[in-house]
Copies of this chain bind each other. A is one copy, B any other.
């Protein structure tokens, strides 16, 4: 059951003896944690197994992370960074050199969100659903905020372009985020009647389009009201 570190290996046959101090353990641990979570999920995630995979003693991680949750928070942080990148990533370049409309980039970011979620469902679980005392890990909140601000930026661009109603971009961003997050979470939980990723993405595109019709600038949002809400 013992595994050797894969990231600090010596040439075979050279009478290898790992030095007492690893020298680069923290990122290695983070990497191992990401891998382990992707494999078994945060519920079965174990600090000692991470240590095993890094080839170190079960207590070495405590020199770099105060506790198990801090390592999980680091994983979540890394997830938000990857998510922000995915949201803001430029289109796969097409032949046409006409710039992609902002609305289109906004909608595509929704699909990117879902693609990210489907490719790293356990990661999403740590990022959004794990009971981490987020106030204890400010980097986590900051990374989450950065990811959200990418989304807000896309909304604002679409507003400037005139394809979304003006005013505070926050509610619009929140609505879009909610829809896309819901699709992603339900798809991950296998609660949607779709099998393949492409089916899910097609469904998501339809949902996004439907929502956009409802948010279209011809019908300003603020003017609509239903009866009172208890």
Chain A residues within 8 Å of B, Cβ to Cβ:
41, 43-44, 92, 103-104, 107, 111, 125, 128-131, 134, 144, 148, 163, 170-171, 174-175, 177-183, 185-186, 189-193, 198, 201-203, 205-207, 209-216, 219, 221, 224-226, 229-230
Contacts and interface: CB of A to CB of B under 8 A. Distances in A.
A103 B216 contact: no
15 contacts: A43-B43, A128-B189, A129-B185, A175-B179, A175-B207, A177-B182, A178-B179, A178-B192, A181-B182, A181-B185, A205-B226, A210-B215, A212-B214, A213-B213, A214-B215
Interface-centre pick from A203, A210, A230 (highest chain B CB count, 10 A) = A210
Stoichiometry, copies per complex:
2
Given A182-B179, A205-B226, A226-B209, A43 B170 contact: no
Nearest to A198: B229
A151 B229 CA distance: 20
A203 to B, nearest CB: 7
Contacts of A211: 179, 210-211, 214
Nearest to A187: B178
Contact of A178 (B43, B107, B207, B221): B207
B221 A206 contact: yes
A104 B224 contact: no
A111 B230 CA distance: 10
